[in-house]
Structure 1
Amino acid sequence: MPIRLLTEEKQILFGEDRTCIGVDSIEWSVWILGTDDVHPQTNLSEALQFAAEHNAVFADLKTRHHSALTMHAVVLHHGYAWTQATDHSWGIRDLRRLHDDRGVDRLRRRAELRIPARMDREPRQGDLPVNAPVQHPASRIGQSTAIEMSRAEAEVKAAVFIAQQSPRNIEAAQAEMRFACRQYALADKAFFSYPKAGETVSGPSIHLARELALIWGNVQHGTMELSRDTALGQSEILAYAWDLQRNSRSSQIFIAPHVRDTRKGKKDLTDLRDVYENNANLGARRLREAIFAMLPAWYTAEAIAICQETLAKGDGTSLDVRVQQAISEYSRVGVSLAQLETKLGRPRDGWNESDVAELQVIFQSVSKGEMSRDEAFPPARITAAEITGQPNSKQPAAGPA
């Protein structure tokens, strides 16, 4: 665990009057300039590797974000800054002597990998050798995994530090949100709609959530596939949204079955593209909820209201033109005017701006595959009388002549 220090602003790292930055009782450690953390290390080799990895991440972040903030990782020996030229009890000569001791190093590797000792004649107990290696689960982390974990830790710390040093301007974010939500291109994709249990569920879409998170600033969000089991037909996915400035995080780990619901029942997915699209679709839904849970409620509510108003006003064309455009778009996917009138509950002449906006939201959901055409507009049922050509009502029996 890192040790948090409260050091002075100006430190003398080298020379006779150098300052003790870390802890004198810890032989080797690494000090992170900026966050003022000290990370204890086992030996000099690990300290040098830890500092090199973090300095590479800091340099990359400084280049990408064009930040004036400076962060460095400095190797400490008994709390003092260390270089090769510094005179210490453990120097380069002792480090070389340690690596030249190949015999001890081989024994150490054999112990870590649990390799049994060699014997001329291996003793046996029945049909099994006494010295047979036992299969143990992986108990050590590989070098590439350790480097990636260290790099990810350094990048997160640097991102949090930059977010706290450059806080968001709430008034500017609110003004930018209002401007973005008044754009018809965003409002047209700001809502979703799909059927569930005989009812239609609607709400703000993932497109609006991502746009609001981008404008709010100092936010990290995304999805990550943690594992995929083709034998069980499922994936484990993480969806998260993190406000770096307020340290407010909303995350959810869920199981995504490789199954698609169809009108004929559930269908197992085996194609890699189908599995990817299924995981991306389910991950986007969880990510949408995570982002809206992280953002302030007043911020989200105002954005939804402005997008609804923008969608009702349209893209500047008259209501009659938008009605005709909606009818033409639905006719291309096989939906008739009668079905549209049944969906809205009124004839075409009685449609208003809200009705056209509702049709646009449903059309976007059908286009994205969130709901099928038959789910949005159920086809008219054909009765047995219509098939046989017989009238629905029975004719009265003729009276006696």
Structure 2
Amino acid sequence: MSADAGRPVSTTAQHEAAERRQAARTLLSCPVLTSHRQPDELALVRRHSTALRSTFARLLGYHLIVEPSFARLVKTPPSADSPPRTVRRGDSPPFTPHTYALFSLACAALLTPGTGEWLLISSLVEQVRADAVTAGVELRDTPADNRRLVQAVGLLIDWGVLTETDGSLSAWSERREEGVLQIHRPLLPHVLPRPLRNVVSLADLFEPMPATAASEPRRSLRRRLVENPLVRREDLPEDERDVLSRERSELSRLLEEHFGLSLEVRAEGAVAYDTEGTLSDVAYPGPGTVRQAALLLTDALTDLARPTGDRPDLVVSWDTVRSELDNVTARHARAWAGAFVADPDRLRKEVVALLESMSLARSLPDGLALHAAAARYRPEPHARPTRAAQRFAVTRRREADEPPSDALFTESFLGEAL
């Protein structure tokens, strides 16, 4: 066969691989797809369902359910050292334990025997209120509790479990206007990670499936890299650190081939980053007061911070955090949201929460521990290291009893960014 004759086959194979990769990325960022809300994405997943089931099970230990009207990727629970994954709908406050309880009650209400395919919003609310009394969950008719209830039901709408067919949840919330919801019956039983018939406690509900082989170091390391913005080397078990060191090339190949992620490994840890910037549910850097403030704060703190022993964290006191954040707020007050400018404590809490969700910082009793990887986001990443950075490098070499070298600036996140 001539070279020209082989090209269509190669092109077709590449096209198929690209489609599978795109379908896998879609499921990672949106684990619930429905024909009503994402028809094109679901069609792509269904086209490659056999390969995708194998890929997710083999590489990550995830279970993929694909039906004519929906697809559901069931992930394993995150490790205890993973950053928080609190649900947040748009600009609404993050889910609280109370909101999660109301979400569970809403799911239970939809599963009540005799509930049809359609129901009134008011009927669902009445059932949730009745079940809350039975379950001992406080649910008062107050603006705060009603907002949480709307958030809980709204998440089911976002996921495609419920569809607004006449009226809307927001209209009911604001003016008590009646609305009709349609229940996606085939998807509803798969909202939770496993069937309830054998679950007797909350711990049973989130216990990993036996087939996932959660302790297998290669698979668990791949899960960390795919799900977490940053994997800290000091948080890895010894067997996963060994895989990261010995099998970096194979790990890089698998992440790129199946999920379109590029692996970056440094002295302090590893990042599987998305060059397209579409996979993560947290945009950073990005628009908005909190993201801009976080970026400017880490830039200001990097020059001021100092290492803490053998840890790759730069620790600054809370007084310094407040002072530096006040400084950047004063410089950008006209462009930032007035609510944050007027409430610096709120801005500080949300900035810290954002950095923690990205694994870039940790709150300590006496200050903020900023991971060296935060320096990747500093402006002019290829500029000459500042004097403060050079002093920091010398300090680290002395503590480690290392000879003078430029290796720190090529092997660590801090040096890469500075």
Query: TM-score, structure 2 length as denominator?
Result: 0.21
Larger radius of gyration, structure 1 or 2? 1
Higher relative contact order (CA 8 A, sep 6+): 2
